[in-house]
A and B are shown apart, each in its own frame.
Chain A
Amino acid sequence: GNSVTQMEGPVTLSEEAFLTINCTYTATGYPSLFWYVQYPGEGLQLLLKATKADDKGSNKGFEATYRKETTSFHLEKGSVQVSDSAVYFCALRSYGGSQGNLIFGKGTKLSVKP
């Protein structure tokens, strides 16, 4: 079945450090891929998405490229800020068949220190 695996946290970085959060997936067909972020006390917010192979999603300095050959969708940011401290969730959504429920990874907690 479809599944998402993302790196275990927590991840602690200093401000302005480079961030990578790994995400790999298993899916039949051609899924769409998403990164959601959950700031403390808030709901899940869409950070970025990519709907086909080689697409790059980007938002707020974060990027992720849909790599079909490695079934990956790693999240990167060149210079993190304290305000990026949150839990990040990788997710996929299958195309066709399903009515579109999201399948999530376990989440990676990021703490950025000043």
Chain B
Amino acid sequence: EPEVTQTPSHQVTQMGQEVILRCVPISNHLYFYWYRQILGQKVEFLVSFYNNEISEKSEIFDDQFSVERPDGSNFTLKIRSTKLEDSAMYFCASSTGTLLSTDTQYFGPGTRLTVL
């Protein structure tokens, strides 16, 4: 069964450093998403991406964040200058986009980001 994959599974970085989290969505999916979960808190939406541009973003997704689909398979989340409060589990998801209200989003296993 096709699945969303994410690398690395765990990333440790120093505050102020740039990190890139990588995702490979399911191949025939058109919508891509990033969510995050700070330890002990809710899973929160960051951004959705369609047709090579951001379709929606949350208040969390400020200028420090960017997303890109550099080729036909990868979808990346970049954090330009990490802060301690960016430490979280980051989930990538994808969906077909056929009917957004009922469409199933398929999630990857997550990347745990630790900022020291």
Q: Which residues of A contact B (CB under 8 A)?
A: 31-32, 36, 41-46, 49, 51, 89, 91, 93-96, 98-107
Contact check, B50 vs A99: say whether CB atoms are below 8 A apart: yes
The total of Cβ contacts below 8 Å across the A-B interface reads 67
Query: What number of B residues sit within 8 Å (CB to CB) of A?
Result: 29
Residues of A contacting B95 in the complex (Cβ-Cβ under 8 angstroms): 100
Please name all residues of chain B whose beta carbon is closer than 8 Å to the beta carbon of A96 when the two chains form the complex.
Answer: 101
A residues in contact with B45, CB < 8 Å: 101-103
Whether A44 contacts B100 by the Cβ 8 Å rule is no
CA distance A99 to B31 in the complex (A): 9
Q: Does A101 contact B56, Cβ atoms closer than 8 Å?
A: yes
Which B residues are CB-close (under 8 A) to A49? 102, 104
Q: State how many angstroms separate the Cβ of A10 from the closest Cβ of chain B.
A: 12
Asked whether, in the complex, the Cβ of B101 is within 8 Å of the Cβ of A104, the reply is no
Minimum CB distance partner of A4 in chain B: B42
